[in-house]
Amino acid sequence: MKTFGFKIDPLTGEDYYEVYIRGRQLLSDSLLNKASAFKKEERLSLGLDGMLRSGVSKLDSQTDRAYEAYQRKTEDLERYIYLAGLQDRNETLFYRLLLEHLEEMVPIVYTPTVGQACMQMSHIQRRYRGIFITPNNIANIDQIFQGLSQPQVNLIVVTDGERILGLGDLGSDGMGISVGKVSLYVAIGGVHPAVCLPVCLDVGTNNPRLLEDPLYLGIRRPRLRGADYEELVEKFILGVKRNFPSALLQWEDFAKQTAFTNLDRYRERILSFNDDIQGTGATALSALMTAMRIKQTRFQDERYVIVGMGQAGTGIAQGIRAMLKEEGLSDEEARKHLFAVDMQGLLIEGDPLLEGPQEPLVQRRAAVDGWQLDDPNRIGLPDVVRNAHPTVLIGVTAQPGLFSEAILAETARHSERPIVLALSNPTHKSECTPKAVWQATDGKGLVATGSPFPPMDGNGRTLRASQCNNMYIFPGVGLGSLVCKASRVTNGMFLAASRAISSFVTPEQEAMGLLLPEMKDIRQVSAAVGKAVGIAARDAGLGRLLDDDQIEAIVTKAQWYPKYASYRPGTIRQWE
Average pLDDT estimate for 442-449: 94
Q: What is the C-alpha separation between 205 and 134, in angstroms, rounded?
A: 12
**Would you tell me how many other CB atoms lie within 10 Å of the CB of residue 87?**
23
Is 428's pLDDT higher than 90?
no
Average pLDDT estimate for 355-379: 87
User: Whole-number mean pLDDT of the chain?
Assistant: 94
Q: How confident is the model at residue 479 (pLDDT cuts 50, 70, 90)?
A: very high
Q: What is the C-alpha separation between 502 and 233, in angstroms, rounded?
A: 36
List every span in the chain annotated with CATH 3.40.50.10380.
111-270
- The tens digit of pLDDT for each residue in 399-420 reads 999 999 999 999 999 998 999 9
pLDDT of residue 232: 98
Q: What is the C-alpha separation between 288 and 516, in angstroms, rounded?
A: 9
pLDDT of residue 139: 98
pTM of the model: 0.93
Is 352's pLDDT higher than 80?
no
Is 68's pLDDT higher than 90?
yes
Number of H helices, E strands in the chain: 25, 17
- 111-270 adopts what CATH topology? Rossmann fold (3.40.50)
For residue 26, report the phi and psi dihedrals to the nearest 5 degrees. -65, -40
Classify strands 392-395 and 456-458 as parallel, antiparallel or unpaired: unpaired
Which one of the listed residues 17, 20, 80, 110 is annotated catalytic?
A: 110
- The tens digit of pLDDT for each residue in 6-65 reads 999 999 999 999 999 999 999 999 999 999 999 999 999 999 999 999 999 999 999 999
For residue 198, report the phi and psi dihedrals to the nearest 5 degrees. -80, 140
- The tens digit of pLDDT for each residue in 134-171 reads 999 999 999 999 999 999 999 999 999 999 987 899 99
Cβ neighbours for 356, distance < 8 A, ≥ 6 positions apart:
260
CA distances from 351 to 18, 259, 306, 361, 381 (A): 61, 22, 17, 12, 17
Q: What is the C-alpha separation between 392 and 402, in angstroms, rounded?
A: 15
Q: How confident is the model at residue 357 (pLDDT cuts 50, 70, 90)?
A: confident
Share of the chain above pLDDT 90, in %: 88
pLDDT of residue 53: 95
pLDDT of residue 571: 81
- 278-470 adopts what CATH topology? Rossmann fold (3.40.50)
Q: What is the C-alpha separation between 273 and 363, in angstroms, rounded?
A: 28
Closest CA to 154 of 262, 240, 273: 240
Q: What is the C-alpha separation between 555 and 484, in angstroms, rounded?
A: 8
* Total residues belonging to the chain: 576
- The tens digit of pLDDT for each residue in 320-341 reads 999 999 999 999 999 999 999 9
Contacts 24+ apart (CB under 8 A), 214-217: 215/122, 215/123, 216/122, 216/171, 216/173, 217/121, 217/122, 217/125, 217/172, 217/173
Mean pLDDT lowest among 77-86, 286-295, 426-435: 426-435
Which one of the listed residues 20, 70, 181, 216 is annotated catalytic?
A: 181
**Degrees, nearest 5: CA angle 87-91-95:** 90
Q: Is residue 110 annotated as a catalytic residue, yes or no?
A: yes
Average pLDDT estimate for 482-500: 97
Q: Is residue 557 annotated as a catalytic residue, yes or no?
A: no
Q: How confident is the model at residue 456 (pLDDT cuts 50, 70, 90)?
A: confident
Sheet holding 419-422, edge to edge: 345-346, 338-342, 304-307, 392-395, 419-422, 446-449, 466-467
Q: What is the C-alpha separation between 404 and 171, in angstroms, rounded?
A: 33
If phi over 0 gives left and psi between -120 and 50 gives alpha, with beta otherwise, what is residue 401? left
Q: What is the C-alpha separation between 25 and 22, in angstroms, rounded?
A: 6
Q: What is the C-alpha separation between 66 and 431, in angstroms, rounded?
A: 36
Q: Which residues pair with 348 in a beta bridge?
A: 363
- The tens digit of pLDDT for each residue in 272-311 reads 999 999 999 999 999 999 999 999 999 999 999 999 998 9
Closest CA to 397 of 377, 415, 424: 424
- The tens digit of pLDDT for each residue in 200-237 reads 999 999 999 999 999 999 999 999 999 999 999 999 99
Q: How confident is the model at residue 574 (pLDDT cuts 50, 70, 90)?
A: very low
List every span in the chain annotated with CATH 3.40.50.720.
278-470
Is 552's pLDDT higher than 70?
yes
pLDDT of residue 572: 56
Q: What is the C-alpha separation between 357 and 317, in angstroms, rounded?
A: 10
Is 575's pLDDT higher than 50?
no
Sheet holding 131-133, edge to edge: 131-133, 196-201, 155-159, 248-251, 272-274
* 4 Cα distance to chain centroid: 29
Closest CA to 140 of 243, 219, 220, 263: 243
Q: What is the C-alpha separation between 538 and 238, in angstroms, rounded?
A: 27
